[in-house]
Structure 1
Amino acid sequence: MANQYSLYWRGNIGMATPWSWLLFILGLLAAIPSALATVQASFERTTVTQGETVTLLLEIDAQANDAGLDLTPLEQDFTILGRQVNTQLQLINGKPSAQTQWRIELEPKQVGLLQVPSLRIGVEQTQPLTLLVQPPTNADAQQPAADLFIEVQAEPLDPYVQAQVQYTVRLFFAVPLLEGSLAAPSPPNAVVERLGEDVRFQTQRDGRRYQVIERRYALFAQRSGTLTIPALNFEGRIADNNQGSLFSRGRRIKRSSDPMILDVRPRPAASVGPYWLPSAALSLQDVWSQHPPQFRVGEPITRTLRLEARGLSKSQLPELTWPNFDWARFYPDQPVTENSIDGQWLMSRREQSIALVPTRAGRFTFPEVQLDWWDTQQDKPRTAVLPALDIEVLPALNPGQPPVPVQSDTQLLEQQPDQTEYKRTTADAFWPSVAMSLLLAWLVTLYAWWRSNKNRRVSEPARQTVDSIPTNARAAKRAVQHACAANDPVATAQALLAWASALWPNQPARHLGALAARLDPQAGALVRGLDRVLYAPTPTTWDGQSLWQVVQRGLPLQRPKSEIQSALAPLYPERR
């Protein structure tokens, strides 16, 4: 994802004309046709008990007016307790972006599966939702009217070993909570992962109104048999109405939950395959760097295998093996793994990419890829399959033709992108163009105003131009070309590092591994392949043309990748 810059300002707006431009431009951005916006709706919890509150989240990728949100369809089945709206403005890749979010607190009026109709935000509509409202249980009705207590819940109570258990902790308090600390579960022989942020709502127990903080965990038992989850302890201070002092620090309180016992089942005999993957859902797919993929002798192409699972951690996903072929050379990349959160599930993903360069023409087959796993929802074995793929490798284009002349770095930077014709409606094209033009005009005006106030400062250094690219970078690039043409891995490695050092003198790449980490997957895989050739125990032939075809237009950098993280805010600030 590209770098994002928040759009903000400070100072006296009335001092300079450019600020009035900003307000005008923001108004135009809000008028961009709503066809460019998307609306999403979701509940923080999809199942609640009668008497509890639930938060409805609405998000639209545009700047929206709170008055444009119509909540009338909710009034039949819900009592609307409150609403909050937040709008964020950003610049992403130089383009203005806006997002508006509503948090609407609701209390269901009846028990059952409630159908939430579409809500209208201006001309946009949300998708319909459902909410399950359950009647209170006997345990809820018998709960003593304490000021504060803890409930815990585990699902399922008889999990398979290494399968996810959804462990939920709820802290109920009927008086103001001044501070507190709630311990995390730490059962023996188990791995525990926090699932997202705390969820807050209200409920009624034994005639008292309670605030509730819900915290979720994913628990993975590592051994079969009986697993005891110890009681969780809470320690904090609550308001004490009996102490009349205005400056009272409140009353210290300690509470513990009930321990829970799980009956962990071993891997069933019906499970087959080398891996034990107990999952609620699992998918296996492949992605090619070209769509559809085209194969030609000497031209690299990248295949990525993507494995995704619900209810497994990224550390549980196996490495996918690659078959060896005699018709191509292979350069595997480092696998990429990550965890994310989907409601009460831990989601995991593993991607493995490999660049392949065909060495001869003909018809070949990628064999079928199979991965056995256990469906914990249906309690039966399943197999994820990538079907076999028949391909045809075409001969090289003009194999006798001399190498394409190398463009200099200056020519590469000055080259303009290809112009692709496309059609757009007048409404789609007009307002974004006007808004962006005015935004550019405002930036130019603001820059001129800023320059006029810098006459007493040291003049700014001249900006780097294309001509300032060091000549040693061009020389190193030519050295890479000659070394690749001679199929000389040692000279190619030296020239590549010299090229990188000339381009990034402040942060030079000291070895090929560091350079490969900066490049995109295809180029990085080829550089790692070169590194393996250099340190091979026996002499190995190396073809430099594949690498040169990828880097001849410049070293292709790795695109930044956003990390999916979940904010893990503490329950309340702990006392130090």
Structure 2
Amino acid sequence: MKRLFLFLITVLLVGPWASGVQAQGARAVVDTNRLRLGESLTLRVIADFDDARVAMPELADFRVSPRGTSSRVQRINGTTTREVESLFLLIPLRTGQLTIPAIPVRGRGVQAVTRPIVVQVDERSAASISDQPWSVTAEVSNTSPYVGEQVVWTFRFQTAAAFQNARLGKPDFNGFSSDEMGEGRAFERVINGRRYAIHEVTELLIPQKAGAFEVQPASLSVAVVTGRSRRSRDPMFDDFFSTRNVMEQKLLTTEAVALTVRPLPPYSGKTPFSGLVGHFSLTAALENDEVKAGDPLTLTLTIQGTGNIRDAAAPLVFLPEGMKQYGDTPVEEIAMGPSGWQGRKTFKTAIVPLKPGKVTIPSVSLVWFDPQAETYRTEKSGPLTFTVTENTAAEAVEVFQAGSGDAPSLAPEKQAVRLKGRDILPLNVDPDAVVHRAPMDVTLFLTWLAGPFGVFLILVVGLNRFARGLSVGQALGRKASARLKEAENATGDTEQFYGALHAALVAVMGALAGRPVEGLTGDDIRQIVSRASGSPEAGESCVAILESVEAARYGGAAEGEGGRKEKVRTLAKLLKEVKA
């Protein structure tokens, strides 16, 4: 009987202390242990200690997408618990039994490891897309394009459920140049009697080299509505306003798309290949059919079509002798169409004929590759003919050929230097007017030069020392006094009171430590108070203040007005000791 009595006494005494002790560790939790290829699972890593950081290892069987970190603090029966949760979305890369290895979690002097998790990944569902509430697909308009040929990559999200916060992760189009084709489009379609919302995003790809390529899967992070939940169990309140949507975060992935890029066939024509791949036309036109000698005449060449028209260069123009040409900046009227870049590119050239007569400009040719016909095509324009008349109003124009004997010399004629007069003289030409002064001593000159800088340096150093002493010795104390007064006047306002109390606690700890402090914990407060020769009771009182602030701000456990005033008096007493 005596032993039983002692055991009960021990339980009563030790029980409250034991309830406040919690083992520090970490655990990993997944929302499902079985999924299909193309689906995702949510991994939560939870640690019960401060400043927890997850060191995610390399996962060869998964693609990892971090989704942020959150923390929460709870105070239950005098015990404060803290949890730091890190969220990850994992996409399996193959089928079979895959293992999520142990994940290290590190904190302030703490290191923990989660347990491994095994998940089963099956093949993609054989059901048709129309049987699924949501799905994503990716496709290309041509799986075997030529180098330089335009290809449209289309991502399609089809859903019969409401959704929000959709974020598309496009793949890296390695081996292709890529351009967005607008902002995408959205429409609805009825499939097997079920209405679907379809959202499409397109990207224009142009292969840069031949070979086998694979466009990696695209991913869509989206929150979809999976049902509705009741807020009340009372059937009297089961109306529209007592229910809410249940949102589930999904990470949907498409399959990879394989392409085989073919090289352009060999070209053996006389006219140079323009490098254009697509469908193009060429037109040429003269500004007038008649021009006077020496006056300019504009030749306009226009390339129009669909393809890599932005890479089009000016076609070669062969002019007869006795004419000059001056090229201008090309004008582009190119826009993104349903199948890629399309429009026109205009090249204008100023032609200046020097002799009268009838002039014929030979045909201008453009060679481009037609991927549909898989052959090179040549487009010609012209020839163009115009008449040059005598320019009687113009002055005679002499044309000289390089190397001819009658060409005038371009070197300036050298002339002898002649004295014009002595019209610039000194104001005072009398030698006795010049007074000789002894030079300043070097030491005196350097002292005079460095004097203002030395005074400025002394002032700066003095002000810095004064400000440093003020910031530690007085500024933190003044800040703590102001925050304590603010907390004392706001005991009826929970949020304002605990905000001011926390600011005052941080300022007091900074004054004790001799430096500003941030991110205080209980151990930090005990160390600061102990190093400042404070009593252990004062340190524990400050720790209790910190715990009450955290419990009120994060857990909703606020004290009454009497407890709040007591904490203000405790901090005020400690602040008085600091000032003393």
Q: Taking structure 1 as the reference length, what is the TM-score of the superposition?
A: 0.42
Higher relative contact order (CA 8 A, sep 6+): 1
Structure whose CA Rg is larger: 2
Q: Taking structure 2 as the reference length, what is the TM-score of the superposition?
A: 0.42
